[in-house]
Amino acid sequence: MTGSDRPAVWSFTLDEDEDWVPSREPAGDENLRRAVETLLLGIASAKAAEAYLAAWRADTERWGSGFSLSTAGAGAERVSAGTVRLVDLYGQFEDCDIAADEFDAMLRDYLAAARAAEG
């Protein structure tokens, strides 16, 4: 699982194909970056990001842990109060864990980037 003394900050840029490319500061491993990128392929707009974040938070409130929420590219599984596992669906990355707080913050950062891009 990723972790450091300071919170991670995710940023997102659009590439030439209009796909979101995530980056993390401090840098995490490439597999985690690929996992986030793959998950976000199925959340291509601010509206979709807002809906995914709302559903994630509602499921967290309802179930606590032990649930998953997938996109067309990958799955996110809340395995404990503090851990989210990003699950590969198509051989794009190795399953990996991310701190639950970081996952939520990453989704918020992505939503902000998508809103900004849409004007």
* pTM beyond 0.85, yes or no: yes
Rounded mean pLDDT of 32-54? Answer: 95
Q: Are 88 and 95 in contact (CB under 8 A)?
A: yes
What pLDDT was estimated at residue 5? 62
Question: Given a cut of 90, is residue 69 above it in pLDDT?
Answer: yes
Question: Given a cut of 90, is residue 28 above it in pLDDT?
Answer: no
Rounded mean pLDDT of 58-77? Answer: 96
Q: How far apart are CA 93 and CA 105, in angstroms?
A: 21
What pLDDT was estimated at residue 7? 84
Q: Are 2 and 28 in contact (CB under 8 A)?
A: yes
Tell how strand 67-70 and strand 74-80 pair up: antiparallel
Rounded mean pLDDT of 70-84? Answer: 96
Q: How far apart are CA 113 and CA 73, in angstroms?
A: 19
Q: How many residues does the chain have?
A: 119
